[in-house]
């Protein structure tokens, strides 16, 4: 296979100072010829119709006549032209492989905040769909490193975040190192504000860079010579996916007509599944591809039409100042359709909030999720950099990994029959599939998951089920009976980077993307298989995975209790964690199916699983390209709904053998999928377990990774009774199922909290750059950030210092940029009908999770169950050792819990109990006692309001919007007087009485009267909305108007109010 070919392209970036002189333009053309420029980035462009001979020039120029432009040699192809509304940015996609972005950032120290917002939001938004290769050029009017300017310079943290998030490097730094040269010098001040950034994967392809003095500008021109890889034609190697947003009601109706026509072609095929694979699926793909292209076309036409209107409005604005309202209206429409289009076609990540502005955070998350492999280390230590070499090595590696191996036989691992011959559930597991079963499988399938090679996601089946239900049931039953074409079970392997992984393939996890129709069949089989396993308890209680009601918490708590008991009984032992190398990928199907057959599973079910395995094949998605397909001759594929059940059945003979060795009271065997741990009290037993693993490897394909198999000494260990095994590495701390264990439970709990708090702190710091309001921040904390702590909280008792640290970090996120004005966290933890936001604060949730987990799992606890089962009020914890603090905490809390809650425990119930004891909001005692507070909270939390509106109203009700009285109370100011009119600056004054807002308040009242004739509410009436005598619809519209008014006044930062802009903000 030939190596990647490159072509050299000369880039230039020049600030042309809004020049319009023909002579200067000619000088620019001469310069471009001199440096042989191929692509040019221009800033401060005056003429929107700028023409450069031999170039295609795209511009973005508004009424300020200081816009941006990109000029490309006329033989180059480009697409995806995007322009910012302020004319400071323009971007194009060069030959569908490289994103070119040109910016002219706001200049001057007085515009630092505006510049930071430009980098963090505007630039981030235009790079949201950037390609693998990116060039970012322009006049940044700021620097990242102090050495690039004399004096302090304008250092931009936001620009640094952009380059870091996009993994870009400064071409000058890459080639010139510490050599300093300034691109702009004025009044004795020099700086390198003109730069060209390139993606880090292009750093090795940089050839030369230089600065040039030019006669037509006071900035130096920057040139960069760069080799860009020639991108091969991948149209035949693409991976199409149906976008769920295209499944509109109109398209589904049209699809129904097409479907009726397609089903008549069934007579041309041998079976329904053959018709489905060879006829229906290609037509589905063709139909929705057409609809997607129509959607793209519609967006482009709307966007172009609005930009034409905007250009005309700008021209009229020169002579008609009233045209500003029309300009703002058109810009709003452009932003709205762009927002909808971006949300449909560029799903950034799972933590993006509805209505959230794009920031550098989204860019960073997108880059993290993009697994692009530009370097790879082979098993022999060779470093690969060439794209074709990397693709070939990865493809060969997985072909070998998934190829069948010759395995031996060992009758000692032969599974015994467990399922009796007359079992009804087992006999019926291969009966006909009915629609209810299929419907249940569709409902249980997760949304927004990547589909298999056919590109059809679960959303398609949900949207069209009533249309295709008859045919789909027939297809499922044919597959159940063994009619399985290869395309039905084919997959695409994507490589997901493991945390802390290196540059070898072992640091990637291969996940199989399988066709949704196959996954529906697999879910149906899984439910039937699960019923058989549950009825006959086929899986050992030691296996906590896919073995209801066992779970991962039982695995962790049983190990924890074993450590405690060893210390209490003054015994010594060894906790050993065995590591199976590539456990799922090395499953020998012959051994698995033989084990299932010996256990007594239905022979036809075993044959079906064999058929599904024999027909399976995969392609690997490497850097956007699909490898040729190859057969999957072993493994249970990660991504298959059946994989976990089949894997635990595969391991069952091994678990049974280990349990036979670990038979003494102090011994323990616990497994969660491939994580197998044992507690043993002698070296002889450890050696026997090792021999069991070796024997199992010979007949099953499994491979014990001795280097990663580690042990921990537990109990009363002394030099005399310490267990020593030559091949076994013993450590002081051992990580098992995500929890760190040591011989001291108290210390281990503290270490777990220290580690998770540090990770939590870093994660929160990463999210602080996001543009979120209070309601959105609470949602983010509840659904994404705080859950990172709850697993540790469920099994490790928290210290007061741990809760204090987490609370402080939570507060730093919630009130970042608030100037110290904040609502107490305990109030935010209250339910909405009591004046809170349902925030899951650590002091409540951590305790509730711990208590609930111990009560729910007490039957699996040796030591804890005897204390939990006989809790009394007041609690007696003297019999619980101090080395087991979390059990003491659980018993203390249970003593005061209602008996109903201890009988039917739930985290929600314990949380509600604790939250019920928290004090109410302070505003209740400060405001009038006549206020119906339940109605107030209900009105301001109306679901029809946006999160920004709800946040503004919530802060206003609680009096937490900056004003003189509040700042005086906080000691932040020495005067309570308004800076505009010297009156006392109360909340009411800030929004209604100040000379700055009187006209704005009158405008709001006028808008309210348009909604409810004759209604003229006071500020206090709007602040605490109850609104008797008007309809619910009118009430909502009034609250919405007031919320928009509050947001505009607060967002104006004490500047003069533009009534034209306010009027557009108040529009319903």
Q: What angle do CA 162, 61, 54 make, to 5 degrees?
A: 95
Q: State how far the Cα of 874 lies from the Cα of 886, in Å rounded to an integer.
A: 18
| Residue count of the chain | 1068
Please tell me the predicted confidence (pLDDT) of residue 343.
Answer: 66
For the chain, where do the domains classified as CATH 3.30.70 start and end? 548-580+648-743
**Contact partners, residue 419, CB within 8 Å, separation at least 6:** 426, 532, 536, 538, 599, 600, 601
Low-confidence ranges of the chain (pLDDT < 50): 1-3, 234-236, 348-349
| Cβ-based neighbour number of residue 562 at 10 Å | 22
**Contact partners, residue 332, CB within 8 Å, separation at least 6:** 1064
| 452: region left, alpha or beta (phi > 0 left; psi from -120 to 50 alpha) | beta
Nearest to 734 by CA among 857, 556, 561, 544: 556
- Helix, strand, or coil here: 790? helix
Distance of CA 53 to CAs 58, 313, 670, Å?
13, 29, 75
Q: State how far the Cα of 91 lies from the Cα of 127, in Å rounded to an integer.
A: 9
Crossing angle of helices 745-767 and 885-894, rounded to 10°: 80
Q: State how far the Cα of 910 lies from the Cα of 893, in Å rounded to an integer.
A: 9
6-231 is a CATH 3.60.10.10 domain: yes
Q: State how far the Cα of 265 lies from the Cα of 162, in Å rounded to an integer.
A: 54
Distance of CA 1047 to CAs 339, 595, 833, 955, 1054, Å?
21, 66, 23, 11, 12
- Helix, strand, or coil here: 806? helix
**Contact partners, residue 1022, CB within 8 Å, separation at least 6:** 1038, 1039, 1042
CA 1023 to chain centre: 37
At residue 605, φ and ψ (nearest 5 deg) are: -65, -45
- Helix, strand, or coil here: 616? coil
Q: Which tokens go with 589? A: 């199907």
Q: State how far the Cα of 700 lies from the Cα of 703, in Å rounded to an integer.
A: 9
Please tell me the predicted confidence (pLDDT) of residue 131.
Answer: 87
Q: Which tokens go with 149? A: 């300017």
Task: Tell me whether strands 221-229 and 625-626 are parallel, antiparallel or unpaired.
Answer: unpaired
Nearest to 272 by CA among 553, 490, 4, 473: 473
| Bond into 967 cis (ω within 30) | no
**Contact partners, residue 763, CB within 8 Å, separation at least 6:** 785, 788
Please tell me the predicted confidence (pLDDT) of residue 132.
Answer: 85
What is the 8-class DSSP label of residue 724? -
Please tell me the predicted confidence (pLDDT) of residue 307.
Answer: 79
Nearest to 42 by CA among 182, 184, 222, 170: 222
CA 662 to chain centre: 42
Q: Could you please report the per-residue DSSP string of 990-1045? A: IIIISTTTHHHHHHHHHHHHHHSTT----HHHHHS---TTS-HHHHHHHHHHHHHH
The pTM (predicted TM-score) of the whole model is 0.87
Q: Which tokens go with 943? A: 């679901």
CB 615 within 8 A of CB 273: no
| Cβ-based neighbour number of residue 881 at 10 Å | 16
CA 533 to chain centre: 35
Count of alpha carbons within 13 Å of 159, Cβ hemisphere only? 27
To the nearest 10°, report the CA torsion of 1051, 1053, 1055, 1060: 0
Q: Name the strand (E) or helix (H) holding 468.
A: helix 458-480
Q: Which CATH number does the domain 548-580+648-743 belong to among 1.20.5, 1.10.357, 3.30.70, 3.30.9?
A: 3.30.70
For the chain, where do the domains classified as CATH 3.60.10.10 start and end? 6-231
Q: Which tokens go with 985? A: 């600056």
Kindly provide the b/e burial profile for residues 198-207, where b requires at least 16 CB atoms within 10 angstroms of the residue's own CB. bbebbbebbe
- Helix, strand, or coil here: 429? helix
Q: What angle do CA 409, 411, 417 make, to 5 degrees?
A: 120
């Amino acid at each position: 296979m030939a190596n990647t070919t490159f072509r050299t392209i000369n880039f230039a970036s020049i600030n042309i100072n809004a020049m319009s002189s023909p002579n200067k333009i000619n000088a620019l053309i001469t310069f471009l010829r001199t440096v042989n420029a191929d692509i040019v980035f221009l800033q401060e462009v005056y003429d929107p119709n700028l023409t450069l001979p031999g170039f295609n020039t795209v511009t973005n120029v508004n009424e300020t006549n200081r816009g941006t432009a990109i000029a490309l040699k006329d033989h180059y192809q480009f697409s995806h032209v995007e322009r910012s509304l302020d004319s400071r940015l323009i971007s194009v996609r060069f030959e569908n492989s490289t994103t070119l972005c040109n910016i002219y950032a706001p200049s001057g120290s007085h515009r630092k905040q505006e510049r930071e917002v430009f980098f963090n939001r505007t630039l981030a938004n235009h790079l949201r769909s950037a390609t693998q290769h990116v060039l970012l050029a322009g006049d940044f009017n700021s620097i990242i490193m102090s050495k690039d300017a004399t004096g302090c310079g304008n250092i931009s943290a936001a620009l640094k975040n952009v380059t870091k998030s996009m993994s870009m490097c400064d071409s000058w730094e890459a080639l010139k190192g510490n050599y300093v040269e300034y691109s702009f010098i004025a009044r004795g001040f020099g700086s390198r504000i003109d730069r060209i950034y390139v993606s880090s994967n292009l750093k090795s392809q940089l050839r030369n860079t230089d600065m040039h003095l030019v006669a037509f500008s006071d900035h130096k021109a920057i040139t960069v010579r760069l080799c860009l890889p020639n991108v091969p034609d991948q149209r035949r190697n693409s991976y199409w996916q149906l976008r769920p947003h295209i499944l509109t009601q109109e398209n589904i109706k049209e699809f129904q007509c097409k479907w009726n026509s397609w089903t008549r072609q069934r007579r041309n095929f041998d079976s329904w599944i053959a018709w489905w694979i060879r006829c229906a699926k290609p037509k589905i793909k063709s139909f929705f591809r057409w609809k997607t292209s129509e959607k793209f076309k519609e967006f482009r036409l709307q966007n172009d039409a609005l930009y034409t209107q905007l250009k005309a409005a700008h021209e009229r604005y020169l002579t008609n100042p009233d045209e500003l309202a029309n300009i703002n209206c058109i810009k709003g429409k452009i932003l709205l359709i762009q927002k909808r289009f971006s949300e449909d076609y560029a799903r950034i990540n799972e933590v993006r909030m509805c209505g959230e502005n794009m920031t550098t955070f989204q860019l960073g998350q997108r880059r993290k999720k993009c697994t692009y492999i530009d370097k790879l280390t082979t098993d022999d230590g060779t470093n690969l950099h060439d794209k074709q070499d990397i693709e070939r090595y990865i493809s060969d590696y997985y072909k070998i990994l998934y190829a069948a191996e010759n395995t031996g036989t060992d009758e000692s691992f032969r599974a015994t029959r467990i399922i009796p011959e007359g079992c009804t559930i087992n006999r019926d597991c291969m009966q006909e599939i009915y629609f209810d079963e299929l419907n249940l499988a569709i409902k249980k399938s997760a949304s927004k998951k990547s589909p298999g090679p056919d590109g059809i996601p679960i959303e398609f089946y949900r949207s069209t089920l009533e249309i295709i239900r008859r045919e789909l049931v027939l297809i499922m039953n044919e597959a159940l009976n063994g009619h399985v074409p290869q395309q039905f079970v084919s997959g695409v392997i994507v490589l997901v980077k493991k945390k802390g992984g290196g540059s070898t393939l072992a640091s990637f996890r291969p996940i199989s993307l399988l066709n949704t129709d196959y996954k529906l069949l697999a879910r149906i089989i899984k439910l039937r298989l699960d019923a058989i396993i549950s009825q006959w308890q086929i899986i050992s209680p030691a296996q906590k995975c896919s073995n209801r009601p066992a779970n991962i918490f039982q695995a962790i708590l049983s190990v924890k209790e074993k450590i405690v008991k060893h210390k209490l009984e003054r015994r010594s032992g060894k906790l050993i964690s065995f590591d199976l190398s590539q456990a799922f990928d090395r499953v020998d199907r012959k051994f698995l199916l033989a084990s299932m057959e010996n256990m007594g599973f239905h022979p036809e079910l075993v044959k079906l699983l064999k058929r599904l395995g024999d027909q399976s094949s995969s392609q690997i998605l490497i850097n956007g390209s699909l490898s040729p397909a190859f057969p999957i001759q072993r493994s249970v594929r990660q991504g298959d709904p059946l994989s976990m059940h089949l894997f635990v059945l595969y391991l069952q003979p091994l678990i049974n053998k280990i349990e036979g060795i670990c038979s003494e009271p102090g011994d323990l065997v616990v497994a969660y999928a491939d994580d197998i741990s044992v507690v043993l009290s002698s070296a002889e037993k450890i050696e026997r377990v090792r021999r069991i693993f070796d024997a199992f490897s010979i007949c099953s394909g499994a491979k014990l990774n001795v280097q990663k198999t580690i042990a921990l000494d537990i109990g009363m260990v002394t030099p005399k009774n310490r267990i020593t095994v030559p091949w076994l590495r013993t450590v002081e701390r051992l990580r098992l199922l995500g929890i760190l264990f040591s011989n001291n439970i108290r210390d281990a709990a503290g270490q777990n909290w220290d580690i998770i708090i540090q990770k939590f702190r870093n994660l929160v710091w990463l999210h602080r750059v996001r543009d979120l309001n209070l309601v959105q921040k609470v949602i983010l904390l509840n659904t994404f950030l705080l859950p990172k702590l709850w697993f540790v909280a469920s099994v490790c008792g928290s210290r007061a210092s741990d809760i204090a640290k987490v609370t402080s970090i939570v507060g730093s996120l919630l009130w970042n940029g608030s100037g110290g004005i904040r609502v107490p966290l305990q109030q935010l933890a209250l339910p909405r009908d009591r004046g809170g936001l349902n925030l899951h604060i650590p002091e409540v949730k951590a305790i509730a999770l711990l208590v609930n987990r111990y009560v729910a799992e007490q039957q699996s606890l040796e030591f804890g169950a005897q204390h939990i089962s006989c809790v009394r009020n007041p609690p007696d914890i003297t019999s619980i050792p101090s080395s087991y603090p979390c059990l003491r905490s659980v018993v203390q809390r249970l003593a005061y819990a209602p008996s109903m809650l201890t009988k039917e425990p739930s985290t929600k119930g314990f949380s509600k109990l604790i939250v019920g004891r928290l004090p109410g909001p302070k505003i209740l005692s400060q405001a009038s006692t006549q206020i119906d507070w339940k109605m107030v909270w209900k009105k301001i939390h109306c679901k029809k309001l946006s999160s920004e509106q709800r946040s503004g109203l919530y802060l206003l009700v609680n009096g937490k919007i900056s004003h003189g009285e509040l700042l005086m109370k906080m000691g932040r100011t020495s005067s309570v007087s308004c800076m505009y009119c010297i009156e006392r600056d109360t909340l009411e004054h800030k929004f209604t009485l100040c000379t700055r807002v009187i006209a704005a308040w009158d405008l709001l009242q006028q808008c309210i009267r348009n909604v409810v004739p004759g209604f003229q509410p006071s500020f206090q009436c709007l602040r605490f909305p109850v609104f008797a005598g008007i309809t619910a619809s009118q009430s909502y519209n009034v609250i919405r108007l007031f919320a928009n008014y509050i947001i505009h006044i607060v967002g104006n930062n004490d500047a003069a109010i533009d009534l034209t802009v306010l009027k557009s903000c108040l529009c319903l």
